[in-house]
Structure formats: structure tokens, C-alpha cells
Amino acid sequence: MESTDTKPSGLQSTFSRRNLLKSAAALTAAASAPEAFGQQPTGAPSKTVWLYIGTYTNVASGGSGGNGGGIYLCELNLLTGKLTVLKLVAPGMPASGANASTGSPSTLAIDPGGNFLYAGNEIFSPHGSVSAYRINRATGDLTLLNAIPAAGAPAHVGVDKSRRYLFAAEYVGAIFEVFPILPNGSLGPRVY
């Protein structure tokens, strides 16, 4: 399976499934059948779904050495299987102000309502973080709500069915953390 990546500059490159899997650490569906789950439809064209792909980045402060840019919005054609990278919707950024780094968002989770996306930022120096984004269902764009430090480098994240907690698990040190999800979708400091 090959896919076409149209870059903002108009240049195109074709990449194989193997290259995609090497550079993409996570693949998450935005919503394949929103109405079936009581969700608002997305702006994806008919017979397609939007997917988010998290990548390893090389963010200056502690990136994982990857060549991805952050979180990408992709479109999957359900009839042909063609996967097209549409745009970078959340660049990996170094820590700034009150936010921890959003580099190397290697694992993604979407809340059950389909309105918020959470990323585990697998950074090893000094430590990783978790970040929260609001999803614009009409455009697929992401807006950073906040990013907060984790004890390690999250390798997996998941949202509970009640949308009250984000769970993060890390390989290094076998760390498991729990972060409360606040009413606006942002994350509070870890509670466990």
C-alpha cells in the first residue's frame, strides 16, 4: 500500500506502509461512524474518515530523535484504502511557560465523545509529559489546552469511559499514572 503526502509547499512524496509504520508511533481514528455513537459528524468527505498519527520528534529539549513533526491529520478512503497525510495539526514543541513539552507524541487517545485528543509525549530528558487538545470536528484541527509533566516517558495513554481520567503507562521504571480530566478537557496534575 502506498500513500501520497502532499506537503504545504506543494511538493509530493510517496511513502510505503513500512516507512509510515517506522515514523508513526500511533494511529488513532477520529470517528469512523460518529452518528452511531451519538457524536457530531466530522468534516471528512463522504466515504472517508480522519485519523491522527503521532510521531517521534527531535524537539531540542529531550526529543526521541525521530524525524516526525508532531501530530498529523490524515484521511483514510474507506473504499480504496488510500491514506493521505493532510496536514500537521499539532507540532511537537519544547516546554514553554506553564506547558511541558509536546514533543514525541508517540501515543494518542481520543475521549469517548470525540471532542478531545490526549497524547503521551515520550521524552526521556528530563522527563515526558501528557498533553490535551480540543478537536475541531469540522476541520480536524487541534488546539493545545495544556501539557503537564509525567514522572517518566509515557508509552501508552487511555481515557476512561466516564471521561474523568487519563491513564499513562511508561516502560522505564514500570510507572503508571492517573491524571484528572477537567471539565474543559484540559488535564490536572497527576493524582496517582
Q: What is the pLDDT of residues 53-99, one digit of tens each?
A: 999 998 654 555 678 899 999 999 999 999 999 999 999 998 887 88
pLDDT at site 186? 98
| Kind and range of the H or E run holding 17 | helix 17-23
89-145 pLDDT per residue, tens: 999 998 887 888 999 999 999 999 999 999 999 987 778 999 999 999 999 999 999
> Which of residues 30 and 3 earns the better pLDDT score?
3
Kindly report the pTM of this predicted structure.
0.79
Q: What are phi and psi of 34, to 5 degrees?
A: -60, -40
Strand pairing class (24-29; 48-55): antiparallel
155-185 pLDDT per residue, tens: 999 999 999 999 999 877 788 999 999 999 9
Q: What gap in Å lies between CA 192 and CA 176, rounded to an integer?
A: 8
Cβ atoms of 137 and 151 closer than 8 Å: no
Q: What are the structural domains, with CATH classification, of the chain?
A: 2-180 (2.130.10.10)
4-47 pLDDT per residue, tens: 554 444 444 444 444 444 343 333 333 334 444 455 688 999 99
Tell me how crowded residue 104 is: count the other CB atoms within 10 A of its CB. 31
